[in-house]
Structure 1
Amino acid sequence: MKKILLTLLLALPFCMVAKAQDFRVGITGGYNLSSPSGYKSQSGFHVGVKGELGLPIVTKGLYMDFGLMLSSHGWKSPGYYYDGNYNPSAGEKPDKPSSGYTSDNKCTPYYLNIPIHIGYKFPVGRNVSLFINAGPYFNIGLFGKAKETITPDKGTATTKEMVGNVFSDKMLNRFDWGLGFRAGTEIARHIQLSIGYDWGMKNINKSGVDNKNRTFVASCAYMF
């Protein structure tokens, strides 16, 4: 998979030179809602640059969409401990525990996100077009932390760092890949608004627990 990614990245500049008149770049950013399988959702963001390469030689409206972005993902794992027992739902506490505390684990990894999609764009008005695109994405882990906040039934909450770098400390796999799609609208050939979803295909957890990235995204881009 890494060889495929490298080949695609090396091929992009040659495509741009060959069809420079059909190539444009832009800036993009937006909201992530990550919900890896087995954990609760966590909000994040993405920001970076993107490119579009028109493919009119195939058919009008067809294009390649790709990007290079910093993207934050993650999850939350709350629980409630009482009398030496664990309840996976922090909201379901026993009636009269003799002692207990809430534990809120939070992991926030940051990736270099590289989507490479094929899409189709069609006009619906004078200055408005609709588009859809889909294809693979590749994530390269950069950095991230894992923290735990403990709140006793009677006392003050304390937060401690569990992992300094979720990738270097052998917690998460550094490389991730999956499939994604986007749908949206383009206004006046410059402003793009879109929503989409990414399905991770690789287990990101090194401990053996099966966790795959699942991410809803909402983006805004300005194309030059």
Structure 2
Amino acid sequence: MKNRLILLLAVSAITAGSAQAQTTTTTSTHDANPGGIYIKGGYNLANISKYNDGSVDAAKGLSTFHAGGVVDIPIAPVLSLQPGLLLTGKGAKANYYVDPNNHSDNYVKSSFNPLYLELPVNLLLKFPIGNDARIFAGAGPYAAMGIGGKSKTEVSTGGVVTSTSHDIKFNNDNPLTPEEEGARYDRLKKFDFGINALAGVEFNRFLVGVNYGWGLEKINSTQTNNTQNGNNKYRTLSVSLGVRLN
């Protein structure tokens, strides 16, 4: 009986110690990389590549926005998979002045601001920097579907200003076929694909991040994509603020 009691106490102690170690490990992992659902939004500086090497004309950057959510799924204490769904603005602007020294009259200002539902899937490395704080960096692909937007033009001649605005239209492409169904010169491709690179800081329940979206698809529906020709593709720099819901 005494031996059985000793054995029972030993087993109980081992079980309790094992459970405590597991709890400690889980808590440590959670503290290092808690994961969760983030609501985020912020500023986009959108542009469209102008040159064959994929670079842009900085003067054509358009201010727009993004908003949505991401799900941070911890894979390891320093690694997360982060899919999301965002409403994001892309595009560019162009300004022409008859007199470069006079921006108040005799000009043409145009902006092109399509809106997309974007699905990014990024892989993030995270490094603790303090109590419930981490820096992160990562990359991954995105796919986006055009849903609307506006193109606007403002013309000033001799003090008379006229403005026009048009809805942006997309073709009715089926992404499962190689053709661009509904391609027209006044239509954009409905789907865009590209690569994200991002970095930032998480602290407590908040995040601050920077993302660069490098589009891989020419945007006009009548254009054949050419990986050796990098012009006419989206380039979007984003700055985000987010809060974790759980």
Shorter-chain TM range is 0.7 to 0.9
Larger Rg: 2
Partner of 2:212: 197
More helix by proportion, 1 or 2? 2
1:165 and 1:91, CA in 2 relative to 1: closer, same or farther beyond 3 A? same
Q: Residues of 1 paired with 2:84 and 2:188: CA distance?
A: 23
* Equivalent residue letter for 2:190: R
1:54 and 2:59 equivalent?
A: no
The CA deviation at 1:213 is: 0.6
Structure 2: gaps of 5 or more residues: 1-33, 51-56, 172-183, 225-230
Count of residue pairs brought into register by the alignment? 183
SS in 2 for 1:71: strand
Q: Is the 8 A contact 1:23 1:54 kept in 2?
A: yes
Q: Is the 8 A contact 1:31 1:44 kept in 2?
A: yes
Return structure 1 stretches of 4+ with deviation > 4 angstroms.
none
Q: Is the 8 A contact 1:144 1:167 kept in 2?
A: no
Q: Residues of 1 paired with 2:47 and 2:100: CA distance?
A: 19
Q: Is the 8 A contact 1:65 1:133 kept in 2?
A: no
Q: Residues of 1 paired with 2:167 and 2:42: CA distance?
A: 26
Partner of 2:100: 91
% identical equivalent positions: 31
1:219 and 2:240 equivalent?
A: yes
* Equivalent residue letter for 2:209: S
Partner of 1:129: 134
Q: What is the TM-score with the length of structure 2 in the denominator? A: 0.68
Partner of 2:48: 36
More strand by proportion, 1 or 2? 1
Q: Residues of 2 paired with 1:127 and 1:176: CA distance?
A: 36
SS in 2 for 1:55: strand
Give the one of 192, 199, 202 matched to 1:183: 199
Give the one of 141, 146, 157 matched to 1:141: 146
Residue by residue over 1:90-144, the C-alpha shift from the partner in whole angstroms, topping out at 9 and shown as x without a partner, is: 7278xxxxxx942212111110011101111110112211111100111110001
Partner of 2:84: 67
Structure 1: gaps of 5 or more residues: 1-21, 82-89, 94-99
* Equivalent residue letter for 1:106: S
